[in-house]
Amino acid sequence: MNGAAAGETFHVKVELIAWAATFVGGDGSDRKIFEVEAGPGDSVRSVLKRLSGGFPALDEALWDRGSGELGEHIEVAVNDALLGIRHTLGTPVKPGDEILLMGQFMGG
């Protein structure tokens, strides 16, 4: 399936793993999976905004309050590629797309 017909809605799978799942009711050792409704004209950003709008803790963690862009501590992958490689927040979503949110790993 390459795309939805004009006006048709579809679902995009959004999965949160490890400590990123704590923002949506997980315990940090599991994963939470959501099917977010989308349609023609929706982007990675609009799907993430739709999901985070229902979870204040996720909204706070995901978005930088000053710029409205992604915050620094959660990595986003679309169809197994980190955001910025093959996709941006503005990339249109299509049926079958999967978005993964995971905590950024930092160390020294």
Compute mean pLDDT per 10 residues along the chain, 108 residues long, and list them.
Answer: 72 96 94 97 98 96 92 92 92 98 75
Cα-Cα-Cα-Cα torsion 87, 92, 97, 99, nearest 10 degrees, comes to 50
Read off the CATH number of the domain in which 30 is found.
3.10.20.30
Q: Is residue 48 part of a domain?
A: yes
Residue 7 structure tokens: 């006006």
In a domain, 49, yes or no: yes
Structure tokens at 103: 């905590």
pLDDT of amino acid 1? 46
In a domain, 3, yes or no: no
Strand partners, 65: none
Domain extent, residue 26, equals 10-103
Residue matched to tokens 């999965």? 15
Structure confidence at residue 108 (pLDDT): 57
Is residue 71, in this structure, part of any structural domain at all?
Answer: yes
Instruction: Give the total number of structural domains in the chain.
Output: 1
Classify residue 88: in a domain, yes or no.
yes
